[in-house]
A and B are shown apart, each in its own frame.
Chain A
Amino acid sequence: MGDALQGLVDLLSPLTLLLVLVGTVAGMAIGAMPGLSATMGLALLVPFTFAMDPGAGLVLLGAFYMGAIYGGSFTAILVNAPGTPSSIATAFEGYRMTKQGRSEEAIVAATLGSVVGGLVGVLFLLFLAPPLADFSLRFGPQEYFWVAIFGLTIIIGMSTGSVLKGLVGGALGVLLGTVGIAPVGGDVRFTFGEPSLQGGVPLVPALIGLFTVPEVLKLIARRSREFEVQPGAEAESRHWTRMTTDLLRKPVNLVRSSVIGALIGILPGAGGSVANLVAYNEAKRASKERHKYGHGAVEGVVAAESANNATVGGGFIPTLTLGVPGTPPDAIVLGVLLLQGLRPGADLFTQSGDLVYTFAFALALSALMMAPVGLLAGRALQRGVVLLPARYLAPAIAVTSIVGAYAIRSSVIDVAIMVVLGVLAYFLGRVGVGVAPIVLGLVLGPIAERGLVQGLLVSTDHALPWLTFFTRPLSIVLILMCVAGIVWPMIQNRKQAVVTEMVAEAEKDRA
């Protein structure tokens, strides 16, 4: 308790408060740029922390990370370009809301979700770190395999039109994920003799290509934006305080998504990119208004954004207690900790407790600061984008996309990959294959493959190594979740079909 107080006192110095503000704002700016990831931004900040006290340096990095994860939502909502893989699901609903002229509502929802999610993640870090870290260790390769499969079942629920087309997209994504050096075994696959493809299909350029390029093409083809045609001025005229209170009336979704985010953040290797998708899917499954999903459901934005900001606090649990980074940006924070002579482990909480508490409180404060900063900057950005005529917007998005794809590792090949996938996505979209299943396959396929092969390799002492995938208790739980993930949406779809049929029948009767 004394440590917590000391931590709070250390945080309340003017310099530390300033660092939190600077970190949050800078993180938001970097996160909003497609191609500039939280990881890269943090790496750039590291040399600055050398000159600081351990506490101040960590505060800056933590605030930056929190802001960057939130910043990714802006471009996802406004131009369908997820700034980080953590905002994939945000783009699903957020951009559709933008098309309906409800972008301000989406930004407010993302802000609220991020603030609550960030705070919930910090609560987990403060109160549940040691038991949760122990729990996360029970996930072996077999469990990672099933987590990835569970993620892939989202495709079934997402394919409102045709499950088959959804599966085609998912398979295509998994196939794209196999390009390059095999994660286990080291074989070179599908590079067609081109050495630069050895690194595989990089995620961020692929995201920009799949999500953003088709929108640019559509803008050019139509020479106008869709949402000028759709009248949606009524929703836009509400004040943001009204939007917030409306959202707060449904706290279940907020809390559930935040908890999902914090829990998935604890699993090293899964992180924000998986958390936002799972939370989105669970929100949809639990919702009474499932039909709104895919057509601009504000709850979807809330779910995705609260989950990804909750992974920040969750991810620091294994980082600080075990010395195992929960997410890629955590690896950088871990490096700085070690550099400052701080050893992660249960001792860190007892020996340098004040420092840990300052850090956790700084994360919480950063989450709170996102509200005013986000509502000001986010809505200003939103107005700017909405007012920009299509003839300026299309080239502006195109240039940002190209720069973003290039920036991630200064590679022209990545730009080419982005363009090729973008054009492909545009034509696939015309035949009804959406990008969402492709992205799911690309993100989750490699996790599943790694889990599968590693699970077989670590079980060589069993007569039948593959049996371990079905006998471990945690695996069985995950398998049941997968089955539910497949069956549940099918039942719901059938119910819906019955209802639609009944309505049709009734109308026929009336006629």
Chain B
Amino acid sequence: MIRQRALAIALVPAAVLGLAACSGGGGEFPSKRIDYILPFDPGGESDITARLQQQPLEEVLGESVSISYKPGAGGALGWSELTRSRPDGYTVMGCNIPHIILQPMLRDDAGYETKAIKPVYFFQSTPNALVVKADSEFETLEDFVAAAKEKPGGLSVGGSGDFSANHIGTLQFADAAGIEVSYTPFDGTGAAVPALLGGHVDALMTYTPQIDALGDQVRPLAIMAEEPMEGVDAPTFAEEGYDLADGAYRGVCVQEDTPQEIVDTLAESFAAVNEDPALVEDFKAQAFNLENYDPAQSLELIDARTQEYTALLDKLGMLG
């Protein structure tokens, strides 16, 4: 008897949720405000991207979009909350590769699993870039590698946080070049910059927009982009003989049980926003790369990167 009642109590909300999901999937989505949550502090690249998307996104969806912040633990706090949110597509959270791959891989308990968050669309990327001070003795990537070989572990490379794209990029580069450097994590992209300009670190693994933002105070040695970038006076790592192309990819995710139709509707909306001429222009001004990974392609991207990182970290003995 008791068990029956418990079952009924458990079923009622489930049925209501199911109904809600059905009605949502029946072409009516969205029918109310969308919460676009960023698991980072305001002011960073993710925030700027979201603010640029907000208005065109509202036009495409026909509903208002509210941006809020849930920072903490390098994004993990927000993502673990996303896995507990309602799978109705009204809670959309910014998510970054490699963060969503590396945190569950390397922390004892990140509070979420990579597969528990469902990618909707990846729309932006900023490749890694190795930069030194403008008056540095290193003129080329070759100089840097030669100096690092001379004193193993003696060169310090700063970057944004632990297990960020900058960190894994430094590891990839050191592995490919057969060198040893000391990676120092700072509190975000901006906090690492004064350490370079003040000469406290020898180089910075940062993101390509910083090259433009810092102007003639720094010299980029190489960028981890697939192709040379317009307006960036630096070779790619591939051109320098290292087959490396990686960086931070930014997109949005939803709870894993969100119905596919809703995910598709959202993905189409973000795809449409990516064609907004004003947004394309603003992305260019920020030196952001426009990306178009639909839900299936996003999953492939995550899988491919997961395998790459697993292989590298395993080789370095960093997987517990």
User: Which A residues have a C-beta under 8 Å from some C-beta of B?
Assistant: 39-40, 42-43, 46-47, 50, 136-141, 180-181, 183-186, 188, 191, 193, 195-196, 198-200, 202, 268-269, 318, 322-325, 328-329, 331-332, 334-335, 338-339, 341, 343-345, 347, 409-411, 450, 454, 457-461
Given contacts A188-B109, A195-B110, A324-B197, contact A180 B72 (CB under 8 A): yes
- Cβ contact within 8 Å between B214 and A460: no
Contact residues in B for A202 (Cβ distance below 8 Å)? 72
Q: How far apart are the CA atoms of A325 and B44 in the complex, in Å?
A: 11
Q: How far is the CB of A271 from chain B (nearest CB, A)?
A: 12
Q: Please report the number of residue pairs spanning A and B whose Cβ atoms sit closer than 8 angstroms.
A: 172
Contact residues in A for B44 (Cβ distance below 8 Å)? 331
Q: Which residue of A lies closest to B45 (CB)?
A: A335
Q: How far apart are the CA atoms of A328 and B110 in the complex, in Å?
A: 26
Given contacts A40-B69, A140-B198, contact A181 B187 (CB under 8 A): no
Q: Contact flags (1/0) for B64-75 with A, using CB distance below 8 Å?
A: 000111111110
Specify which of B43, B73, B106, B197 lies most central, judged by the most chain A CB atoms within 10 Å of its CB: B43
Q: How far is the CB of A208 from chain B (nearest CB, A)?
A: 17
Q: How far apart are the CA atoms of A135 and B168 in the complex, in Å?
A: 32
Specify which of B42, B72, B154 is in contact with A200 (CB 8 Å cutoff): B72
Given contacts A343-B215, A345-B217, A458-B184, contact A193 B72 (CB under 8 A): no
Q: How far apart are the CA atoms of A79 and B217 in the complex, in Å?
A: 47
Contact residues in A for B193 (Cβ distance below 8 Å)? 322-324
Instruction: Check: B27 CB closer than 8 A to any chain A CB.
Output: no
Q: How far apart are the CA atoms of A202 and B71 in the complex, in Å?
A: 10
Q: Among residues 124 to 165 in chain B, which have CB atoms less than 8 Å away from a CB atom of chain A?
A: 151, 153-156, 158, 162-163
- Cβ contact within 8 Å between A268 and B77: no
Q: How far is the CB of B38 from chain A (nearest CB, A)?
A: 10
User: Which B residues have a C-beta under 8 Å from some C-beta of A?
Assistant: 41-44, 47-48, 51-52, 54-55, 67-74, 76-77, 80-81, 106-112, 151, 153-156, 158, 162-163, 182-187, 190-191, 193-195, 197-201, 209, 212-217, 282, 285-286
- Cβ contact within 8 Å between B156 and A193: no
Given contacts A43-B47, A343-B215, contact A198 B72 (CB under 8 A): yes
Contact residues in A for B216 (Cβ distance below 8 Å)? 345
- Cβ contact within 8 Å between A195 and B80: yes
Extra contacts, 9 of them, besides A198-B72, A339-B285 (Cβ < 8 A), are A138-B198, A140-B195, A322-B197, A324-B190, A335-B43, A339-B48, A344-B213, A411-B70, A458-B200
Given contacts A180-B72, A322-B197, A409-B70, contact A339 B109 (CB under 8 A): no
Q: How far is the CB of A410 from chain B (nearest CB, A)?
A: 6
Contact residues in A for B54 (Cβ distance below 8 Å)? 47
Specify which of B55, B70, B108, B187 is in contact with A410 (CB 8 Å cutoff): B70
Q: How far apart are the CA atoms of A46 and B108 in the complex, in Å?
A: 37
Given contacts A186-B162, A338-B285, A343-B215, contact A199 B77 (CB under 8 A): yes
- Cβ contact within 8 Å between A186 and B184: no
Contact residues in A for B200 (Cβ distance below 8 Å)? 140-141, 458
Q: How far apart are the CA atoms of A345 and B197 in the complex, in Å?
A: 12
Q: How far apart are the CA atoms of A43 and B71 in the complex, in Å?
A: 14
Specify which of A137, A325, A341, A344 is in contact with B198 (CB 8 Å cutoff): A137
Q: How far is the CB of B190 from chain A (nearest CB, A)?
A: 5
Given contacts A454-B184, A458-B195, contact A196 B80 (CB under 8 A): yes
Given contacts A195-B110, A331-B43, A450-B187, contact A457 B156 (CB under 8 A): yes
- Cβ contact within 8 Å between B286 and A181: no
Q: How far is the CB of B197 from chain A (nearest CB, A)?
A: 5
Contact residues in B for A40 (Cβ distance below 8 Å)? 42, 69
- Cβ contact within 8 Å between A136 and B194: yes
- Cβ contact within 8 Å between B108 and A188: yes
Contact residues in A for B52 (Cβ distance below 8 Å)? 339
Contact residues in B for A193 (Cβ distance below 8 Å)? 109
Q: How far is the CB of A477 from chain B (nearest CB, A)?
A: 16
A-B contact pairs, 13 of them (CB 8 A): A43-B67, A181-B76, A184-B185, A186-B107, A195-B110, A268-B194, A324-B194, A329-B43, A332-B42, A339-B52, A410-B70, A458-B200, A458-B201
Contact residues in A for B154 (Cβ distance below 8 Å)? 460-461
Given contacts A137-B194, A345-B215, contact A328 B76 (CB under 8 A): no
Q: How far is the CB of B147 from chain A (nearest CB, A)?
A: 11
Q: Which residue of A lies closest to B186 (CB)?
A: A454
Q: How far apart are the CA atoms of A117 and B241 in the complex, in Å?
A: 54
- Cβ contact within 8 Å between B158 and A461: no
Contact residues in B for A136 (Cβ distance below 8 Å)? 194
Contact residues in B for A332 (Cβ distance below 8 Å)? 42-43, 47
- Cβ contact within 8 Å between B111 and A198: yes
Given contacts A184-B185, A186-B107, A188-B107, contact A322 B217 (CB under 8 A): yes
Which 6 pairs between the two chains have the least Cβ-Cβ distance?
A199-B72, A195-B111, A43-B42, A331-B43, A137-B198, A198-B73
Q: Which residue of A lies closest to B81 (CB)?
A: A196
- Cβ contact within 8 Å between A184 and B194: no
Q: How far apart are the CA atoms of A258 and B81 in the complex, in Å?
A: 42
Contact residues in A for B68 (Cβ distance below 8 Å)? 409-410
Contact residues in A for B163 (Cβ distance below 8 Å)? 186
Contact residues in A for B109 (Cβ distance below 8 Å)? 188, 191, 193, 195
Q: How far apart are the CA atoms of A423 and B137 in the complex, in Å?
A: 57
- Cβ contact within 8 Å between B55 and A47: yes
Q: How far is the CB of A142 from chain B (nearest CB, A)?
A: 8
- Cβ contact within 8 Å between A139 and B198: yes
Q: How far apart are the CA atoms of A199 and B286 in the complex, in Å?
A: 29
Contact residues in B for A345 (Cβ distance below 8 Å)? 214-217
- Cβ contact within 8 Å between A458 and B215: no
Given contacts A47-B55, A335-B47, A461-B151, contact A195 B76 (CB under 8 A): yes
